[in-house]
Protein backbone atom coordinates (compact mmCIF):
# COMPACT_ATOMS: atom_id res chain seq x y z
CA UNK A 1 0.00 0.00 0.00
CA UNK A 2 2.87 2.37 0.71
CA UNK A 3 4.03 2.09 -2.91
CA UNK A 4 0.46 2.61 -4.13
CA UNK A 5 0.05 5.72 -2.00
CA UNK A 6 3.45 7.02 -3.07
CA UNK A 7 2.52 6.52 -6.70
CA UNK A 8 -0.83 8.26 -6.15
CA UNK A 9 0.78 11.28 -4.46
CA UNK A 10 3.42 11.47 -7.18
CA UNK A 11 0.64 11.53 -9.76
CA UNK A 12 -1.09 14.38 -7.88
CA UNK A 13 2.11 16.43 -7.87
CA UNK A 14 2.68 15.62 -11.54
CA UNK A 15 -0.72 17.06 -12.41
CA UNK A 16 0.00 20.12 -10.28
CA UNK A 17 3.39 20.65 -11.91
CA UNK A 18 1.82 20.39 -15.37
CA UNK A 19 -0.40 23.36 -14.47
CA UNK A 20 2.22 25.50 -12.73
CA UNK A 21 5.26 24.73 -14.92
CA UNK A 22 4.12 22.75 -17.99
CA UNK A 23 7.57 22.87 -19.57
CA UNK A 24 9.15 20.92 -16.70
CA UNK A 25 9.50 17.10 -16.86
CA UNK A 26 7.53 15.25 -14.21
CA UNK A 27 10.42 12.86 -13.62
CA UNK A 28 11.99 15.41 -11.31
CA UNK A 29 9.36 14.70 -8.63
CA UNK A 30 10.65 12.58 -5.75
CA UNK A 31 8.96 11.79 -2.45
CA UNK A 32 10.70 11.10 0.84
CA UNK A 33 9.60 10.13 4.31
CA UNK A 34 10.19 13.02 6.75
CA UNK A 35 12.50 12.16 9.64
CA UNK A 36 9.97 13.64 12.07
CA UNK A 37 6.33 12.54 12.06
CA UNK A 38 5.27 16.11 12.83
CA UNK A 39 6.37 17.08 9.31
CA UNK A 40 3.74 14.88 7.66
CA UNK A 41 3.71 11.49 5.99
CA UNK A 42 5.59 12.40 2.80
CA UNK A 43 7.69 15.37 1.71
CA UNK A 44 8.72 16.74 -1.69
CA UNK A 45 11.44 19.29 -2.48
CA UNK A 46 10.54 19.81 -6.15
CA UNK A 47 9.95 23.54 -5.61
CA UNK A 48 13.50 24.06 -4.35
CA UNK A 49 14.88 22.02 -7.25
CA UNK A 50 13.04 24.12 -9.86
CA UNK A 51 13.21 27.57 -8.27
CA UNK A 52 16.45 28.68 -9.95
CA UNK A 53 15.48 27.25 -13.33
CA UNK A 54 12.06 28.94 -13.23
CA UNK A 55 13.46 32.10 -11.63
CA UNK A 56 10.91 31.95 -8.82
CA UNK A 57 11.02 32.08 -5.06
CA UNK A 58 10.96 28.42 -3.86
CA UNK A 59 8.34 29.08 -1.16
CA UNK A 60 6.08 30.88 -3.64
CA UNK A 61 6.54 28.07 -6.16
CA UNK A 62 5.73 25.46 -3.49
CA UNK A 63 2.60 27.37 -2.54
CA UNK A 64 1.49 27.51 -6.16
CA UNK A 65 1.99 23.76 -6.51
CA UNK A 66 -0.02 23.15 -3.36
CA UNK A 67 -2.84 25.34 -4.63
CA UNK A 68 -2.93 23.41 -7.92
CA UNK A 69 -3.07 19.95 -6.35
CA UNK A 70 -6.18 17.98 -7.41
CA UNK A 71 -8.54 16.78 -4.70
CA UNK A 72 -7.90 13.27 -3.41
CA UNK A 73 -9.72 11.02 -0.94
CA UNK A 74 -6.33 9.89 0.38
CA UNK A 75 -4.75 13.32 0.87
CA UNK A 76 -5.85 15.19 3.97
CA UNK A 77 -3.80 18.30 3.27
CA UNK A 78 -0.55 19.65 1.85
CA UNK A 79 1.52 22.20 3.75
CA UNK A 80 4.35 24.58 2.98
CA UNK A 81 7.39 24.11 5.23
CA UNK A 82 10.85 25.59 5.61
CA UNK A 83 12.57 27.00 2.52
CA UNK A 84 10.09 25.36 0.14
CA UNK A 85 9.25 21.81 1.18
CA UNK A 86 5.81 20.43 0.42
CA UNK A 87 4.66 18.21 3.28
CA UNK A 88 1.81 15.84 2.53
CA UNK A 89 -0.52 14.41 5.19
CA UNK A 90 -2.64 11.37 4.47
CA UNK A 91 -6.20 10.74 5.55
CA UNK A 92 -6.56 8.08 8.25
CA UNK A 93 -8.54 5.96 5.77
CA UNK A 94 -5.54 5.84 3.44
CA UNK A 95 -3.29 4.55 6.20
CA UNK A 96 -5.84 2.00 7.37
CA UNK A 97 -6.24 0.62 3.86
CA UNK A 98 -3.04 -1.34 4.53
CA UNK A 99 -4.82 -3.37 7.22
CA UNK A 100 -7.44 -4.42 4.69
CA UNK A 101 -4.76 -5.35 2.17
CA UNK A 102 -2.85 -7.48 4.67
CA UNK A 103 -5.94 -9.40 5.78
CA UNK A 104 -7.03 -9.94 2.18
CA UNK A 105 -3.64 -11.14 0.91
CA UNK A 106 -2.62 -13.16 3.97
CA UNK A 107 0.63 -15.07 3.46
CA UNK A 108 0.99 -13.43 0.02
CA UNK A 109 1.12 -9.89 1.41
CA UNK A 110 4.33 -8.13 0.48
CA UNK A 111 5.08 -10.14 -2.64
CA UNK A 112 5.91 -8.42 -5.92
CA UNK A 113 6.56 -9.34 -9.55
CA UNK A 114 9.83 -7.56 -10.40
CA UNK A 115 11.52 -10.85 -11.26
CA UNK A 116 8.95 -11.77 -13.92
CA UNK A 117 9.92 -15.46 -13.50
CA UNK A 118 13.41 -14.83 -14.84
CA UNK A 119 16.00 -17.41 -13.71
CA UNK A 120 18.64 -16.38 -11.19
CA UNK A 121 21.34 -18.52 -9.61
CA UNK A 122 22.41 -17.78 -6.05
CA UNK A 123 25.64 -19.48 -5.02
CA UNK A 124 26.42 -19.54 -1.31
CA UNK A 125 28.24 -21.44 1.44
CA UNK A 126 30.42 -23.33 -1.13
CA UNK A 127 32.62 -24.68 1.67
CA UNK A 128 35.66 -26.84 1.04
CA UNK A 129 34.72 -30.36 2.27
CA UNK A 130 37.63 -30.31 4.73
CA UNK A 131 35.81 -29.75 8.02
CA UNK A 132 32.54 -28.80 9.72
CA UNK A 133 30.94 -25.51 8.66
CA UNK A 134 32.38 -22.53 10.52
CA UNK A 135 30.49 -19.36 11.44
CA UNK A 136 31.42 -17.63 8.20
CA UNK A 137 29.67 -20.45 6.37
CA UNK A 138 26.77 -20.11 8.82
CA UNK A 139 26.44 -16.42 8.02
CA UNK A 140 26.52 -17.25 4.31
CA UNK A 141 23.85 -19.90 4.78
CA UNK A 142 21.53 -17.53 6.63
CA UNK A 143 22.16 -14.64 4.22
CA UNK A 144 21.89 -16.79 1.11
CA UNK A 145 18.73 -18.60 2.10
CA UNK A 146 17.02 -15.36 3.16
CA UNK A 147 18.08 -13.64 -0.07
CA UNK A 148 16.71 -16.55 -2.12
CA UNK A 149 13.39 -16.31 -0.27
CA UNK A 150 13.30 -12.56 -0.90
CA UNK A 151 13.99 -13.02 -4.60
CA UNK A 152 11.32 -15.71 -4.84
CA UNK A 153 8.89 -13.30 -3.17
CA UNK A 154 9.63 -10.89 -6.02
CA UNK A 155 8.83 -13.58 -8.62
CA UNK A 156 12.38 -14.60 -9.52
CA UNK A 157 12.91 -18.25 -10.48
CA UNK A 158 15.68 -19.00 -8.00
CA UNK A 159 18.21 -21.83 -8.05
CA UNK A 160 20.25 -22.34 -4.87
CA UNK A 161 23.68 -23.74 -5.69
CA UNK A 162 26.55 -25.07 -3.56
CA UNK A 163 29.96 -25.20 -5.28
CA UNK A 164 32.11 -27.96 -3.80
CA UNK A 165 35.84 -27.22 -3.91
CA UNK A 166 36.66 -30.92 -4.02
CA UNK A 167 39.97 -30.51 -5.83
CA UNK A 168 43.30 -28.94 -4.99
CA UNK A 169 45.82 -28.65 -2.16
CA UNK A 170 43.30 -28.50 0.69
CA UNK A 171 41.76 -31.84 -0.30
CA UNK A 172 45.25 -33.35 -0.53
CA UNK A 173 45.96 -32.05 2.97
CA UNK A 174 42.70 -33.54 4.25
CA UNK A 175 43.55 -36.96 2.83
CA UNK A 176 47.06 -36.92 4.30
CA UNK A 177 45.69 -35.80 7.68
CA UNK A 178 43.16 -38.65 7.84
CA UNK A 179 45.71 -41.14 6.56
CA UNK A 180 48.15 -40.14 9.31
CA UNK A 181 45.51 -40.46 12.05
CA UNK A 182 44.44 -43.86 10.69
CA UNK A 183 48.00 -45.15 10.78
CA UNK A 184 48.45 -43.67 14.22
CA UNK A 185 45.34 -45.51 15.44
CA UNK A 186 46.84 -48.76 14.09
CA UNK A 187 49.87 -48.21 16.26
CA UNK A 188 52.22 -47.05 13.53
CA UNK A 189 54.79 -44.35 14.17
CA UNK A 190 53.81 -41.45 11.90
CA UNK A 191 54.86 -37.90 11.27
CA UNK A 192 51.71 -35.78 11.09
CA UNK A 193 51.68 -33.28 8.18
CA UNK A 194 52.88 -29.87 9.32
CA UNK A 195 49.87 -28.16 7.69
CA UNK A 196 47.45 -30.98 8.52
CA UNK A 197 43.97 -30.50 9.99
CA UNK A 198 44.13 -30.92 13.75
CA UNK A 199 40.46 -31.21 14.78
CA UNK A 200 39.00 -34.17 16.62
CA UNK A 201 36.82 -34.81 13.57
CA UNK A 202 39.90 -36.02 11.67
CA UNK A 203 40.38 -38.79 14.24
CA UNK A 204 36.68 -39.67 13.95
CA UNK A 205 36.89 -39.99 10.16
CA UNK A 206 40.04 -42.10 10.47
CA UNK A 207 38.35 -44.41 12.98
CA UNK A 208 35.30 -44.79 10.72
CA UNK A 209 37.54 -45.54 7.75
CA UNK A 210 39.34 -48.28 9.64
CA UNK A 211 36.05 -49.66 10.99
CA UNK A 212 34.95 -50.13 7.39
CA UNK A 213 38.11 -52.15 6.67
CA UNK A 214 39.70 -49.33 4.72
CA UNK A 215 43.38 -49.54 3.83
CA UNK A 216 45.33 -46.52 5.20
CA UNK A 217 47.93 -47.08 2.50
CA UNK A 218 45.43 -46.33 -0.27
CA UNK A 219 45.52 -42.52 -0.28
CA UNK A 220 42.95 -42.26 -3.11
CA UNK A 221 40.46 -44.33 -1.10
CA UNK A 222 41.20 -42.26 2.03
CA UNK A 223 40.58 -39.06 0.06
CA UNK A 224 37.29 -40.34 -1.37
CA UNK A 225 36.06 -41.56 2.03
CA UNK A 226 37.07 -38.34 3.84
CA UNK A 227 35.41 -36.01 1.34
CA UNK A 228 32.21 -38.07 1.40
CA UNK A 229 32.17 -38.09 5.22
CA UNK A 230 32.60 -34.34 5.45
CA UNK A 231 30.04 -33.68 2.78
CA UNK A 232 27.54 -35.66 4.87
CA UNK A 233 28.53 -33.69 7.95
CA UNK A 234 28.15 -30.38 6.17
CA UNK A 235 24.77 -31.51 4.85
CA UNK A 236 23.77 -32.19 8.46
CA UNK A 237 24.95 -28.74 9.52
CA UNK A 238 22.90 -27.16 6.74
CA UNK A 239 19.84 -29.23 7.69
CA UNK A 240 20.22 -28.00 11.28
CA UNK A 241 20.10 -24.46 9.88
CA UNK A 242 17.07 -25.32 7.75
CA UNK A 243 18.93 -24.64 4.49
CA UNK A 244 18.44 -26.72 1.33
CA UNK A 245 20.12 -26.49 -2.06
CA UNK A 246 18.76 -27.24 -5.51
CA UNK A 247 22.11 -28.15 -7.01
CA UNK A 248 25.62 -29.14 -5.99
CA UNK A 249 28.40 -28.40 -8.47
CA UNK A 250 31.75 -30.19 -8.14
CA UNK A 251 34.95 -28.32 -8.89
CA UNK A 252 36.53 -31.63 -9.92
CA UNK A 253 34.01 -31.93 -12.77
CA UNK A 254 35.46 -28.80 -14.37
CA UNK A 255 38.69 -30.73 -14.88
CA UNK A 256 37.22 -34.11 -15.83
CA UNK A 257 34.82 -32.47 -18.31
CA UNK A 258 37.64 -30.43 -19.90
CA UNK A 259 36.07 -27.09 -18.99
CA UNK A 260 39.22 -25.71 -17.35
CA UNK A 261 41.37 -26.58 -20.36
CA UNK A 262 38.77 -25.10 -22.72
CA UNK A 263 38.65 -21.89 -20.69
CA UNK A 264 42.44 -21.55 -20.66
CA UNK A 265 42.51 -22.20 -24.41
CA UNK A 266 39.89 -19.53 -25.07
CA UNK A 267 41.69 -17.00 -22.85
CA UNK A 268 44.94 -17.68 -24.68
CA UNK A 269 43.17 -17.23 -28.02
CA UNK A 270 41.79 -13.89 -26.82
CA UNK A 271 45.26 -12.40 -26.83
CA UNK A 272 44.88 -11.38 -23.20
CA UNK A 273 47.53 -13.77 -21.87
CA UNK A 274 51.33 -13.79 -21.90
CA UNK A 275 54.15 -15.97 -20.60
CA UNK A 276 56.67 -14.75 -18.07
CA UNK A 277 59.05 -16.60 -15.73
CA UNK A 278 57.68 -19.92 -16.97
CA UNK A 279 54.12 -19.02 -15.98
CA UNK A 280 51.03 -18.07 -17.98
CA UNK A 281 49.53 -14.70 -17.01
CA UNK A 282 46.18 -13.01 -17.70
CA UNK A 283 46.10 -9.25 -18.35
CA UNK A 284 43.50 -8.58 -15.66
CA UNK A 285 44.74 -4.97 -15.35
CA UNK A 286 42.94 -4.26 -18.63
CA UNK A 287 39.71 -4.92 -16.72
CA UNK A 288 40.32 -2.93 -13.56
CA UNK A 289 42.48 -5.30 -11.48
CA UNK A 290 45.43 -3.78 -9.62
CA UNK A 291 47.91 -6.17 -11.24
CA UNK A 292 47.99 -9.01 -13.77
CA UNK A 293 47.38 -12.50 -12.38
CA UNK A 294 49.05 -15.85 -12.89
CA UNK A 295 46.77 -18.45 -14.49
CA UNK A 296 49.14 -21.37 -14.82
CA UNK A 297 52.15 -21.68 -12.55
CA UNK A 298 55.58 -22.77 -13.70
CA UNK A 299 54.92 -26.27 -12.31
CA UNK A 300 51.94 -26.66 -14.65
CA UNK A 301 49.21 -26.31 -11.99
CA UNK A 302 46.43 -23.74 -12.24
CA UNK A 303 45.83 -20.95 -9.75
CA UNK A 304 42.48 -21.06 -7.95
CA UNK A 305 40.76 -18.34 -10.00
CA UNK A 306 41.06 -20.29 -13.28
CA UNK A 307 38.47 -22.96 -12.34
CA UNK A 308 36.38 -20.12 -10.88
CA UNK A 309 36.24 -18.49 -14.32
CA UNK A 310 35.39 -21.83 -15.94
CA UNK A 311 32.66 -22.39 -13.35
CA UNK A 312 31.08 -19.02 -14.09
CA UNK A 313 31.13 -19.73 -17.79
CA UNK A 314 28.95 -22.75 -17.00
CA UNK A 315 26.54 -20.55 -15.08
CA UNK A 316 26.09 -18.37 -18.15
CA UNK A 317 25.84 -21.36 -20.47
CA UNK A 318 23.16 -22.90 -18.25
CA UNK A 319 20.99 -19.87 -18.91
CA UNK A 320 21.60 -17.90 -15.72
CA UNK A 321 21.97 -14.40 -17.10
CA UNK A 322 21.50 -13.23 -13.50
CA UNK A 323 23.76 -14.70 -10.84
CA UNK A 324 24.69 -13.73 -7.28
CA UNK A 325 27.65 -15.03 -5.28
CA UNK A 326 27.76 -14.73 -1.50
CA UNK A 327 31.34 -14.98 -0.28
CA UNK A 328 33.49 -14.06 2.70
CA UNK A 329 35.67 -10.97 2.67
CA UNK A 330 38.75 -13.21 2.28
CA UNK A 331 37.51 -13.86 -1.28
CA UNK A 332 37.26 -10.15 -2.13
CA UNK A 333 40.13 -10.34 -4.63
CA UNK A 334 38.26 -13.01 -6.59
CA UNK A 335 35.67 -10.51 -7.81
CA UNK A 336 37.93 -8.54 -10.17
CA UNK A 337 39.73 -11.68 -11.43
CA UNK A 338 36.63 -13.65 -12.28
CA UNK A 339 34.99 -10.69 -13.99
CA UNK A 340 38.20 -9.94 -15.90
CA UNK A 341 38.41 -13.54 -17.10
CA UNK A 342 34.80 -13.49 -18.28
CA UNK A 343 35.28 -10.22 -20.16
CA UNK A 344 38.42 -11.52 -21.83
CA UNK A 345 36.46 -14.59 -22.97
CA UNK A 346 33.85 -12.31 -24.50
CA UNK A 347 36.40 -11.18 -27.08
CA UNK A 348 36.64 -14.67 -28.62
CA UNK A 349 33.37 -16.40 -27.68
CA UNK A 350 30.92 -13.52 -28.28
CA UNK A 351 29.09 -14.81 -25.21
CA UNK A 352 27.86 -11.32 -24.35
CA UNK A 353 28.47 -11.70 -20.62
CA UNK A 354 27.74 -8.29 -19.06
CA UNK A 355 30.51 -6.24 -17.45
CA UNK A 356 29.31 -6.66 -13.86
CA UNK A 357 28.59 -10.39 -14.06
CA UNK A 358 28.17 -12.00 -11.59
CA UNK A 359 26.88 -9.87 -8.72
CA UNK A 360 28.58 -10.36 -5.36
CA UNK A 361 27.56 -10.03 -1.74
CA UNK A 362 30.73 -9.93 0.33
CA UNK A 363 30.26 -10.55 4.04
CA UNK A 364 32.61 -10.07 6.96
CA UNK A 365 33.30 -12.66 9.59
CA UNK A 366 31.57 -13.30 12.90
CA UNK A 367 33.04 -12.98 16.40
CA UNK A 368 31.38 -15.04 19.13
CA UNK A 369 31.18 -13.72 22.69
CA UNK A 370 30.08 -15.52 25.85
CA UNK A 371 30.23 -14.13 29.40
CA UNK A 372 32.06 -11.11 28.01
CA UNK A 373 34.87 -13.11 26.42
CA UNK A 374 35.53 -14.17 22.84
CA UNK A 375 34.95 -17.85 22.05
CA UNK A 376 37.49 -19.09 19.51
CA UNK A 377 37.65 -22.85 19.58
CA UNK A 378 35.36 -25.81 19.04
CA UNK A 379 35.95 -29.14 20.76
CA UNK A 380 35.53 -31.00 17.46
CA UNK A 381 36.99 -28.55 14.98
CA UNK A 382 39.89 -27.60 17.22
CA UNK A 383 40.62 -24.28 15.55
CA UNK A 384 37.31 -22.46 15.12
CA UNK A 385 33.72 -22.25 16.36
CA UNK A 386 31.40 -24.29 14.16
CA UNK A 387 27.92 -23.31 13.00
CA UNK A 388 26.57 -26.43 14.73
CA UNK A 389 28.11 -25.33 18.04
CA UNK A 390 26.14 -22.12 17.85
CA UNK A 391 22.88 -23.84 16.84
CA UNK A 392 23.21 -26.29 19.72
CA UNK A 393 23.85 -23.41 22.11
CA UNK A 394 21.10 -20.93 21.17
CA UNK A 395 18.83 -22.64 18.62
CA UNK A 396 18.20 -22.26 14.89
CA UNK A 397 15.92 -19.23 15.13
CA UNK A 398 18.39 -17.09 17.04
CA UNK A 399 21.28 -18.10 14.78
CA UNK A 400 19.41 -17.32 11.58
CA UNK A 401 17.91 -14.03 12.76
CA UNK A 402 21.13 -12.75 14.33
CA UNK A 403 23.28 -13.63 11.30
CA UNK A 404 21.07 -11.59 8.93
CA UNK A 405 20.39 -8.74 11.34
CA UNK A 406 23.34 -6.63 10.15
CA UNK A 407 24.55 -5.56 6.73
CA UNK A 408 26.67 -8.29 5.22
CA UNK A 409 29.73 -6.05 4.83
CA UNK A 410 29.86 -5.13 8.53
CA UNK A 411 31.66 -6.99 11.30
CA UNK A 412 29.25 -8.91 13.50
CA UNK A 413 29.58 -9.88 17.15
CA UNK A 414 27.35 -12.79 18.08
CA UNK A 415 26.62 -12.47 21.80
CA UNK A 416 25.49 -15.89 23.03
CA UNK A 417 24.16 -14.50 26.32
CA UNK A 418 22.04 -11.93 24.46
CA UNK A 419 20.74 -14.57 22.04
CA UNK A 420 19.55 -16.68 24.97
CA UNK A 421 18.02 -13.80 26.92
CA UNK A 422 14.29 -13.09 27.09
CA UNK A 423 14.44 -9.32 26.96
CA UNK A 424 13.63 -6.60 24.48
CA UNK A 425 17.36 -6.30 23.79
CA UNK A 426 17.23 -9.70 22.09
CA UNK A 427 15.78 -8.86 18.66
CA UNK A 428 14.55 -12.34 17.72
CA UNK A 429 12.87 -12.83 21.09
CA UNK A 430 11.32 -9.36 20.85
CA UNK A 431 9.86 -10.04 17.40
CA UNK A 432 8.66 -13.55 18.23
CA UNK A 433 7.15 -12.34 21.50
CA UNK A 434 5.10 -9.76 19.59
CA UNK A 435 3.67 -12.58 17.47
CA UNK A 436 2.96 -14.74 20.54
CA UNK A 437 1.30 -11.82 22.33
CA UNK A 438 -1.10 -11.29 19.45
CA UNK A 439 -1.90 -15.02 19.36
CA UNK A 440 -2.71 -14.82 23.09
CA UNK A 441 -5.09 -11.88 22.63
CA UNK A 442 -6.88 -13.58 19.75
CA UNK A 443 -7.18 -16.76 21.83
CA UNK A 444 -8.70 -14.78 24.69
CA UNK A 445 -11.21 -13.25 22.29
CA UNK A 446 -12.06 -16.75 21.11
CA UNK A 447 -14.05 -15.97 17.98
CA UNK A 448 -13.22 -16.66 14.32
CA UNK A 449 -10.34 -14.40 13.22
CA UNK A 450 -11.37 -14.73 9.56
CA UNK A 451 -14.40 -12.54 10.25
CA UNK A 452 -12.10 -9.60 11.08
CA UNK A 453 -11.40 -9.00 7.40
CA UNK A 454 -14.78 -7.29 7.10
CA UNK A 455 -14.62 -5.36 10.39
CA UNK A 456 -15.02 -1.58 10.21
CA UNK A 457 -11.75 0.24 10.92
CA UNK A 458 -13.34 3.65 11.45
CA UNK A 459 -12.83 3.47 15.22
CA UNK A 460 -9.04 3.43 14.80
CA UNK A 461 -8.14 7.07 15.31
CA UNK A 462 -5.25 7.09 17.78
CA UNK A 463 -1.82 8.17 16.47
CA UNK A 464 -0.29 4.83 17.52
CA UNK A 465 -2.95 2.92 15.61
CA UNK A 466 -2.49 4.94 12.46
CA UNK A 467 1.30 4.70 12.70
CA UNK A 468 1.06 0.93 13.12
CA UNK A 469 -1.21 0.66 10.07
CA UNK A 470 1.15 2.84 8.07
CA UNK A 471 4.09 0.65 9.07
CA UNK A 472 2.22 -2.38 7.71
CA UNK A 473 1.78 -0.54 4.43
CA UNK A 474 5.56 -0.19 4.08
CA UNK A 475 6.19 -3.94 4.03
CA UNK A 476 5.86 -4.55 0.25
CA UNK A 477 8.24 -1.69 -0.52
CA UNK A 478 10.72 -2.91 2.10
CA UNK A 479 10.76 -6.36 0.49
CA UNK A 480 11.12 -4.99 -3.04
CA UNK A 481 14.03 -2.76 -2.06
CA UNK A 482 15.71 -5.47 0.02
CA UNK A 483 15.57 -7.92 -2.89
CA UNK A 484 16.92 -5.32 -5.33
CA UNK A 485 19.83 -4.47 -3.01
CA UNK A 486 20.49 -8.10 -1.96
CA UNK A 487 19.96 -6.90 1.60
CA UNK A 488 17.95 -9.30 3.79
CA UNK A 489 19.05 -7.37 6.88
CA UNK A 490 16.46 -4.74 5.90
CA UNK A 491 13.71 -7.26 6.67
CA UNK A 492 15.18 -7.92 10.12
CA UNK A 493 15.34 -4.16 10.76
CA UNK A 494 11.73 -3.75 9.67
CA UNK A 495 10.47 -6.60 11.86
CA UNK A 496 12.25 -5.14 14.88
CA UNK A 497 10.61 -1.76 14.27
CA UNK A 498 7.18 -3.27 13.69
CA UNK A 499 7.45 -5.35 16.86
CA UNK A 500 8.55 -2.28 18.81
CA UNK A 501 5.57 -0.25 17.61
CA UNK A 502 3.21 -3.10 18.42
CA UNK A 503 4.59 -3.57 21.95
CA UNK A 504 4.26 0.18 22.59
CA UNK A 505 0.67 0.13 21.38
CA UNK A 506 -0.17 -3.02 23.36
CA UNK A 507 1.29 -1.54 26.55
CA UNK A 508 -0.63 1.72 26.09
CA UNK A 509 -4.07 0.49 24.95
CA UNK A 510 -6.39 -2.39 25.75
CA UNK A 511 -7.55 -4.43 22.76
CA UNK A 512 -10.44 -6.41 24.27
CA UNK A 513 -12.51 -3.38 25.29
CA UNK A 514 -16.25 -3.31 25.94
CA UNK A 515 -16.91 -1.10 22.90
CA UNK A 516 -17.61 -3.77 20.25
CA UNK A 517 -16.74 -1.77 17.07
CA UNK A 518 -13.51 -0.53 18.67
CA UNK A 519 -12.62 -4.02 19.87
CA UNK A 520 -13.14 -5.55 16.44
CA UNK A 521 -11.18 -2.77 14.76
CA UNK A 522 -8.25 -3.25 17.13
CA UNK A 523 -8.37 -7.00 16.71
CA UNK A 524 -8.26 -6.55 12.93
CA UNK A 525 -5.25 -4.26 13.33
CA UNK A 526 -3.25 -6.66 15.48
CA UNK A 527 -4.25 -9.60 13.31
CA UNK A 528 -2.69 -7.75 10.37
CA UNK A 529 0.43 -7.12 12.45
CA UNK A 530 0.63 -10.84 13.24
CA UNK A 531 0.34 -11.71 9.55
CA UNK A 532 3.16 -9.37 8.54
CA UNK A 533 5.36 -10.67 11.36
CA UNK A 534 4.72 -14.21 10.10
CA UNK A 535 5.48 -13.25 6.51
CA UNK A 536 8.70 -11.48 7.42
CA UNK A 537 9.96 -14.19 9.76
CA UNK A 538 9.21 -16.84 7.13
CA UNK A 539 11.47 -15.03 4.65
CA UNK A 540 14.30 -15.17 7.20
CA UNK A 541 13.66 -18.84 7.92
CA UNK A 542 12.62 -18.08 11.52
CA UNK A 543 9.58 -19.56 13.25
CA UNK A 544 6.60 -17.55 14.49
CA UNK A 545 5.63 -19.22 17.81
CA UNK A 546 2.11 -18.90 19.20
CA UNK A 547 3.30 -19.29 22.78
CA UNK A 548 6.53 -18.31 24.54
Average pLDDT over residues 191-219: 95
Indicate the average pLDDT of the chain.
Answer: 94
Q: How far apart are CA 415 and CA 437, in angstroms?
A: 25
Helix, strand counts (H, E) of the chain: 19, 15
Q: How far apart are CA 493 and CA 436, in angstroms?
A: 19
Q: What is the pLDDT, as a whole number, of residue 40?
A: 87
Q: What is the pLDDT, as a whole number, of residue 383?
A: 81
Up-side HSE of residue 44: CA atoms within 13 Å toward CB?
29
* CATH code that applies to domain 2-90: 3.30.1360.70
Q: How far apart are CA 325 and CA 137, in angstroms?
A: 13
Average pLDDT over residues 123-149: 96
Q: What is the pLDDT, as a whole number, of residue 340?
A: 94
Share of the chain above pLDDT 90, in %: 89
Average pLDDT over residues 515-534: 98
Q: How far apart are CA 282 and CA 95, in angstroms?
A: 58
> What fold, for 424-540?
Isoleucyl-tRNA Synthetase; Domain 1 (1.10.730)
Crossing angle (nearest 10°) for helices 516-540 and 427-445: 140
Average pLDDT over residues 273-302: 94
Q: Are β-strands 323-328 and 359-363 bridged in parallel, bridged antiparallel, or unpaired?
A: parallel
Q: How confident is the model at residue 331 (pLDDT cuts 50, 70, 90)?
A: confident
Q: How far apart are CA 317 and CA 96, in angstroms?
A: 48
Q: What is the pLDDT, as a whole number, of residue 27?
A: 78
Q: What is the pLDDT, as a whole number, of residue 348?
A: 80
Q: How far apart are CA 432 and CA 409, in angstroms?
A: 26
Q: How confident is the model at residue 33 (pLDDT cuts 50, 70, 90)?
A: confident
Closest to 188 in 3D by CA, of 217, 213, 209: 217
For 352: left if phi > 0, alpha if psi spans -120 to 50, otherwise beta; the answer is left
Q: What is the pLDDT, as a whole number, of residue 380?
A: 80
Average pLDDT over residues 214-235: 96
Strand (E) positions, 20-149? 31-32, 42-44, 75-81, 85-90, 119-123
Average pLDDT over residues 82-100: 94
Are 95 and 470 in contact, with CB atoms under 8 Å apart?
Answer: yes
Q: What is the pLDDT, as a whole number, of residue 293?
A: 94
95-130 tens-digit pLDDT: 999 999 999 999 999 999 999 999 999 999 999 999
H helix intervals, 247-331: 251-256, 259-269, 305-317
437-447 tens-digit pLDDT: 999 999 999 99
State how far the alpha carbon of 142 is from the alpha carbons of 50, 122, 150, 480, in Å: 46, 13, 12, 19
| Higher-scoring residue by pLDDT: 297, 2 | 297
With 80 as the cut, is the pLDDT of residue 347 above it?
yes
- Taken in order 261, 263, 265, 271, is the CA torsion positive or negative? negative
Instruction: Confirm whether pTM is higher than 0.75.
Output: yes
- Give the H/E segment covering residue 413: strand 412-415
Strand (E) positions, 101-188? 119-123, 157-164
Closest to 169 in 3D by CA, of 148, 139, 197: 197
Domain boundaries, the chain: 2-90, 366-420, 424-540
Amino acid sequence: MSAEIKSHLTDLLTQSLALVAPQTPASIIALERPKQAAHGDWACNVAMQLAKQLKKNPRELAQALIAALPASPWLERAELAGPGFINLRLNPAAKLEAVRNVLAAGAGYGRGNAGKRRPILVEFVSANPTGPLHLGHGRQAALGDALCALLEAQDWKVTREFYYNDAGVQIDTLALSVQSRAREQRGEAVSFPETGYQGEYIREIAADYLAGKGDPGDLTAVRRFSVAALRREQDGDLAALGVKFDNYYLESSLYTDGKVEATVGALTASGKTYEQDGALWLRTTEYGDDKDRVMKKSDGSYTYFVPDVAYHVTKWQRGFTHAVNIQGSDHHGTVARVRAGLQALNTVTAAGIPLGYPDYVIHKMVTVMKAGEEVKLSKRAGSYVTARDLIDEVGRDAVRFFLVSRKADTEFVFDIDLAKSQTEDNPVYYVQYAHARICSVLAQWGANAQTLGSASLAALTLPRELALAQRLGEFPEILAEAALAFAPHAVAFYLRELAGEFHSYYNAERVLVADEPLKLARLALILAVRQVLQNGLALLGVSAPEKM
